[in-house]
């Protein structure tokens, strides 16, 4: 199987001297997580790539509103690529070696004809491989427990810099003075949204101003299928994992759940993550107001929260009991 089978096309693009604010606003409106940056001559050759994380990091480092910045100040250069005829295995090896999540796909003349994400390749190859090992059953088997967190009063500039250092563009924000009680989940898209809407340097915007509720969550005892159903229902790619007192104990992503779970492509398509997808498509999955609410049923006797949502989206599927 070659890359053409998995790549997304057409590819949205921008130019180095474009206004970063205008490009970021276009990315936000279209739900794009990345754009390729092309040369300004008529050849339109690849010169870089621009992701939401790049935009947030540039805004943090410049300590200025996005309206004062150009794409060239934020884009990543020296971008790894693959050919349209390369095999999926070759492209995946290139992604892993470069330590990136996406690869522009180029033709023989060096023109960009598509873009492919690591998750797209991994899922496609897993589906085509017979005898693959079974995925773990529960969220606790795959979740990440070494999670970097931020404070509600921490500046978005500080958060963006720490996200970049840890190479993770999602950070749970904790309530002040409440231990590990989670207030919300910030992504690179949320930082860009806040910079655009408030027109201020990220250093002047506290995290609480960028958090938009309600929080989508799951429990460690939920099945990976149930967590994937919640991601699909709300159009998110990450879920905080909490205990019955709303204390954060981990984070799970689409990639953690394995092939077939979760909601979206990784190639930069129109996908919403974090606070960008707060309108529920089904009821349930919201953070309860206080400790104990996760353990109760509603007045109709149906289970509340993640379990109810998972059951509504997975008819006939067994959903594991939460502790």
Residue 307 has pLDDT above 90, yes or no: no
Residue 211 has pLDDT above 80, yes or no: yes
Of the candidates 308, 52, 72, the residue with the CA atom closest to the CA atom of residue 196: 52
Name the domain boundary from 65, 97, 128. 128
Residue 193 lies in a domain: yes
Residue 319 lies in a domain: no
Residues 248, 147 contacting (CB under 8 angstroms):
yes
The residue among 10 and 141 whose pLDDT is bigger is 141
Is residue 160 located within the same domain as residue 119?
Answer: no
Residue 182 lies in a domain: yes
| pLDDT at site 256 | 84
Residue 219 lies in a domain: yes
Is residue 294 located within the same domain as residue 162?
Answer: yes
| pLDDT at site 313 | 46
Is residue 113 located within the same domain as residue 214?
Answer: no
Is residue 276 located within the same domain as residue 248?
Answer: yes
Residue 80 lies in a domain: yes
Name the domain boundary from 66, 96, 128. 128
- Angle at Cα 274 formed by Cα 269 and Cα 276, nearest 5°? 65
Name the domain boundary from 128, 155, 180. 128
Tens digits of per-residue pLDDT, 164-180?
Answer: 999 888 999 999 888 88
- CATH number of the domain that 67 lies in? 3.10.580.10
H or E stretch including 223? none
Give the number of C-alpha atoms closer than 13 A to the C-alpha of residue 160, restricted to the C-beta side.
30
DSSP 240-255: EEE-TTSBEEEEEEHH
Is residue 176 located within the same domain as residue 122?
Answer: no
Residue 16 lies in a domain: yes
Residue 221 has pLDDT above 90, yes or no: yes
The residue among 275 and 223 whose pLDDT is bigger is 223
The tally of domains found in the chain comes to 2
Structure tokens at 190: 């949320």
Q: How confident is the model at residue 70 (pLDDT cuts 50, 70, 90)?
A: very high
| pLDDT at site 316 | 39
Cα torsion 112, 114, 120, 126: sign: negative
Residue 241 has pLDDT above 50, yes or no: yes
Task: Identify the three-state secondary structure at position 165.
Answer: helix
pTM: 0.75
Is residue 109 located within the same domain as residue 169?
Answer: no
Residue 34 has pLDDT above 60, yes or no: yes
| pLDDT at site 131 | 55
Residue 203 has pLDDT above 70, yes or no: yes
The residue among 267 and 303 whose pLDDT is bigger is 267
| pLDDT at site 198 | 95
Is residue 111 located within the same domain as residue 145?
Answer: no
Residue 235 lies in a domain: yes
Residue 81 lies in a domain: yes
Beta partners for residue 218, in sequence order: 241
Of the candidates 15, 69, 43, 291, the residue with the CA atom closest to the CA atom of residue 196: 69
239: containing domain: 139-313
Residue 289 has pLDDT above 50, yes or no: no
Tens digits of per-residue pLDDT, 76-130?
Answer: 999 999 998 899 999 999 998 988 889 999 988 888 999 998 888 887 777 666 5
| pLDDT at site 301 | 37
In angstroms, the CA 278 to CA 141 distance is: 27
Which H, E and C letters describe 8-52, residue by residue? ECCCCEECCCCEHHHHHHHHHHHCCCEEEEECCCCCCEEEEEEEH
Residue 297 has pLDDT above 50, yes or no: no
In angstroms, the CA 121 to CA 102 distance is: 10
């Amino acid at each position: 199987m070659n890359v053409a089978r998995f790549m997304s096309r057409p590819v949205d693009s921008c130019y180095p001297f474009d206004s970063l604010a205008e490009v970021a606003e276009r990315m936000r409106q279209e739900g794009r997580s990345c754009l390729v940056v092309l040369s300004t001559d008529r050849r339109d050759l690849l010169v870089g790539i621009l992701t939401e994380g790049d935009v947030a990091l540039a805004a943090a480092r410049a300590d200025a509103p996005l309206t004062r910045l150009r794409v060239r100040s934020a884009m990543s250069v020296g971008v790894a690529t693959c050919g349209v005829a390369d095999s999926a295995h070759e492209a995946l090896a290139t992604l892993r070696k470069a330590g990136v999540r996406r690869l522009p796909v180029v033709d023989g003349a060096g023109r960009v004809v598509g873009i492919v994400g690591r998750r797209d390749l991994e899922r496609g190859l897993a589906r085509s491989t017979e005898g693959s090992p079974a995925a773990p059953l529960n969220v606790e088997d795959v979740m990440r427990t070494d999670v970097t967190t931020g404070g509600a009063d921490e500046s978005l500039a500080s958060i963006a810099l720490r996200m970049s250092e840890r190479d993770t563009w999602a950070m749970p924000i904790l309530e002040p003075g409440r231990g590990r009680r989670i207030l919300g989940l910030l992504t690179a898209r949320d930082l860009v949204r806040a910079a655009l809407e408030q027109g201020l340097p990220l250093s002047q915007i506290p995290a609480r101003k960028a958090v938009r509720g309600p929080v989508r969550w799951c429990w460690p005892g939920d099945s990976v299928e149930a967590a994937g159903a919640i991601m699909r229902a709300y159009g998110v790619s990450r879920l905080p994992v909490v205990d019955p007192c709303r204390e954060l104990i981990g984070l799970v992503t689409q990639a953690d759940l394995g092939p077939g779970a979760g909601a979206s492509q990784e190639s930069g398509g129109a996908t919403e993550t974090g606070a960008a997808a707060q309108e529920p498509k089904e009821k349930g999955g919201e953070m309860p107001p206080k400790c104990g609410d996760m353990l109760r049923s509603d007045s109709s006797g149906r289970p509340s929260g993640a379990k109810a949502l998972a059951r509504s989206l997975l008819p006939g599927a067994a959903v594991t009991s939460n502790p």
